[in-house]
Structure 1
Amino acid sequence: MSTPSTTPSSRTSLIAAGGGAVALALLVGFAVGLPEITGDGHSGPGVEELAPLPDTLPGDLISLLGTEVPDEVLAQFGGTEQLEPLVDSASDNLATLFGDPTAFGLYTKVDGSAFLTVTVAPGEPGLFVPDGAPFDADVQGAARGNLEVVRVDDDTVCSVVYAAAIAEGQPVDPAEQPSRTHCQLGSEGLLYDVTGQGVGVDEVVIAAEAVRDLQES
């Protein structure tokens, strides 16, 4: 599929059910949502092997399975014993679904204030309305809906979920932190898919670009 035809940095407000969740619940929900696929996966983009995902990403993000995670932060996510099987399951299902090469990783900030899932798989950004259909905020009678789709550039699209819509006539705080930010970046036959809590569009895109730059270096 092709990405929506919009101009760079344009925003479309969407209706969706937003709301935060604890980081572990988000992780389990992601893992459970990955289908138990059987059969052969699709062929990849001609890349036989990916570079390992980095231990750190810009914005003080560190791998949850890396060596730099404080014990108290790791405990918030259930510990290594709970995380490793989830990551292995996600990696295996992604490879079966999309074909090799694929990679999957979990990241947090040192203080535990943010959580990201990072997926690399064959493909390009597709029709990107994972949380609802595109409606303008004024059609909803709102100054800003609780879901926006943001085209960052020709290769990157993000879905931004807020805790609640803002009523028409009320001020919109541009610094409000989204409940969840989900971005897709496509480059050279690979799709970089990053979902985060506690981070905005800029941080998620920078993380996706850092993983892309590592693969293309």
Structure 2
Amino acid sequence: MPLRSTLAGAATGVMLLGGVFGFAVGLPEWTGDEAEAPQDAKPQLGSPADLLPDTLLNGGLVPIASIDPQYQELADQVEAYGGETLAEAFGTDVAVGIYSTPDLTAQVAVTIYNGESGLFLQDGPPVPPQMSANSQSTTDVVKQGDSVCIGKWQTEAKAQNQPPFQVQCQRVIDGRTINAYAAPGISVEQAADIVDDVIRQAGLG
């Protein structure tokens, strides 16, 4: 995937595909009860960049630049370029954070921007499963908790209830839009948990 090849392959010369098909990343279990924000928490009024958390899912995901100094410059470039490009396109302040499992088996990009985003489908609306039965990949749009998620699977993996090779979850809250984009190994449920964790740590909602 582009995110993996940019942040892992470009720095190490190795694509950490680690079993894309049928591979699920083990992350600390996240539940709303143990991760609730204090009742007196107030939404932060800082910029989107101020809302990017130091870690996600109880340390299961950390900023990729913190794993090894060799990733610092590359991560800075990707985050800066992504934020600037999106800000110019959407006309609002945007922050991008790149996170990874400590062993680099999966990466997640988080975006936070001012404004409430609506429907935006890169591949068009979903089609009936029987119409894509002969395709090598399939896409599904689902509501997971309070987030809307779009997952892409290898057709065989989807049939076997395996994790998607790409998933995006989005949630709008307090005038901000939070997105999590995950590479192989992150389930739809985990991607939605990531969005919820960003919101909790930011004191939104």
Match of 1:150 in 2: 142
Match of 1:44 in 2: none
Asked if 1:161 is matched to 2:152, the reply is: yes
Letter in 2 for 1:127: L
Deviation, structure 1 residue 202: 1.1
In structure 1, stretches of 5+ residues that fail to align are: 1-19, 29-46
Asked if 1:54 is matched to 2:35, the reply is: no
Match of 1:213 in 2: 200
Deviation, structure 1 residue 101: 4.1
Would the aligned equivalents of 1:129 and 1:149 in 2 still touch at CA under 8 Å?
Answer: no
The total of aligned residue pairs comes to: 167
Asked if 1:203 is matched to 2:190, the reply is: yes
Percentage of pairs with the same residue: 25
Deviation, structure 1 residue 86: 2.0
Would the aligned equivalents of 1:146 and 1:166 in 2 still touch at CA under 8 Å?
Answer: no
The two structures have a TM-score, normalised by structure 2, of 0.68
Asked if 1:85 is matched to 2:71, the reply is: no
Relative to structure 1, the CA distance from residue 97 to residue 140 in structure 2 (aligned partners, 3 Å threshold; closer, same or farther) is: closer
Equivalent in 99, 104, 110 of residue 102 of structure 2: 110
How big is each residue's C-alpha offset from its partner over 1:55-95, in whole Å with a ceiling of 9 and x where there is no partner?
210061011133xx1x3xx65xxx22222122122222333
Cα distance in structure 1, aligned partners of 2:166 and 2:85: 23
Q: CA RMSD in A?
A: 3.2
Letter in 2 for 1:118: V
Cα distance in structure 2, aligned partners of 1:27 and 1:187: 32
Cα distance in structure 1, aligned partners of 2:116 and 2:200: 16
Match of 1:188 in 2: 174
Cα distance in structure 2, aligned partners of 1:152 and 1:55: 24
Relative to structure 1, the CA distance from residue 22 to residue 215 in structure 2 (aligned partners, 3 Å threshold; closer, same or farther) is: closer
Structure 1 or 2: more helix by fraction: 2
Letter in 1 for 2:54: D
Would the aligned equivalents of 2:63 and 2:100 in 1 still touch at CA under 8 Å?
Answer: yes
Match of 2:5 in 1: 24
SS in 1 for 2:65: coil
Deviation, structure 1 residue 177: 2.1
Relative to structure 1, the CA distance from residue 48 to residue 22 in structure 2 (aligned partners, 3 Å threshold; closer, same or farther) is: closer
In the TM superposition, 1:169-184 aligns within 5 A as 172-174=159-161, 176-184=162-170
The two structures have a TM-score, normalised by structure 1, of 0.65
SS in 2 for 1:177: coil
Which of 1 and 2 has higher RCO (CA within 8 Å, sep 6+)? 1
